[in-house]
Amino acid sequence: MRGEYKVPGGKLVAVDVEVDDGTISSAFVSGDFFLEPDEALEDINAALVGMPSTASVADLAASITARFDAETRMIGFTPDAVGIAVRRALGHATDWSDHTFDVIGPVTMDPRMHVALDEVIAGQLARGEINPSLRIWDWDQPLVVIGSFQSYRNEIDDEGREKHGINVVRRITGGGAMFMEPGNCVTYSLVVPASLVEG
């Protein structure tokens, strides 16, 4: 099985792997990258052999890194890039054509419910209970949504918020603060499995 990964701004990494009884039994990494010393390629290949076929990118990258000494230089690619190529070879990393999407048309409701639904739908997808989805939001009142790591104090003028009766909700994802109001914005959620964004 063969998997490829083009490192953003970098080089192509290709991996040919064979699996026996749930374990990678052979691996050969190739591509247009640079590696010093040349013999380190054998270390990369050896680091993959014996790994479970279900290993994560992080696990594969850690196995590769553990084989290197201080002199090893990967130029134009990384241990993670090799891990992604392996996952693609094994069919664990997917693309758009591997999925059937449900489209959930606009439903007007309290925007706080829309934010809560994002968490519920993502959890259902992670448990394999539903398909990936594109969901269109429609609001029945204005709201400010802030990302999970944003400071309320730095983003919100609390006096102005209270004066205008605007609620604030923190969503489970990152991103910036957004003020949204009915009839004046288009909002959607794209909920996909982690395999689609691997790499």
- Each residue of 90-103: pLDDT tens digit? 988 777 877 899 99
The answer to pTM > 0.85 is no
Full residue range of the structural domain in which residue 85 is found = 2-89
Of 141, 131, 152, 148, nearest in space to 183 by CA: 141
Distances (CA, A) of 11 to 14, 16, 29, 60, 123: 10, 17, 13, 19, 35
Q: Are residues 189 and 111 in the same domain?
A: yes
Residue 17 and residue 38 in one domain: yes
Q: Stretch 17-24: mean pLDDT, rounded? A: 96
Q: Kindly tell me if the per-residue pLDDT of 23 is higher than 90.
A: yes
Task: Using DSSP, state whether 25 is helix, strand or coil.
Answer: strand
> Which pLDDT value is given to residue 195?
81
Residues 37, 112, single domain; the answer is: no
The whole-angstrom separation of Cα 86 and Cα 40 is 18
CA torsion angle for 63, 67, 71, 77 (degrees, to 10)? -30
CATH (domain of 150): 3.30.930.10
Q: Which two tokens stand for residue 20?
A: 């026996």
Strands of 167-170's sheet, edge to edge? 167-170, 143-146, 178-180
User: For residues 164 and 144, is the Cβ–Cβ distance under 8 A?
Assistant: no
- The C-alpha atoms of residue 103 and residue 132 are separated, in whole angstroms, by 9
Q: What is the CATH number of the domain that holds 53?
A: 3.30.390.50
CA separation for the pair 55, 49 (Å, rounded): 11
164-198 pLDDT, tens digit per residue, is 999 999 988 777 888 888 888 888 899 998 888 77
Q: Which one-letter amino acid corresponds to residue 169?
A: V
Same domain, 101 and 191: yes
- Is residue 185 located within the same domain as residue 110? yes
Q: How far apart are CA 106 and CA 124, in angstroms?
A: 20
Quote the tokens at residue 122: 């993502």
Q: Helices in 13-149 by DSSP H: which ranges?
A: 40-48, 57-67, 79-89, 111-126
Same domain, 40 and 103: no
Domain finish residue from 89, 115, 146: 89
User: What's the CA angle centered on 64, arms 59 and 65, to 5 degrees?
Assistant: 95
Please tell me whether residues 47 and 111 are part of one structural domain.
Answer: no
Do the Cβ atoms of 79 and 64 come closer than 8 Å? yes
Q: Is the pLDDT reported for residue 199 higher than 70? A: no
Which of 89, 118, 133 is the last residue in one of the domains? 89
Cα–Cα distance between 50 and 27 in angstroms, integer? 10
d(CA 47, CA 160): 57
Identify whether residues 109 and 170 lie together within a single domain: yes
Q: What is the mean pLDDT of residues 125-131?
A: 93
Last residue of a domain, one of 47, 62, 89: 89
Domain count, the chain: 2
pLDDT, average across residues 76-83: 93
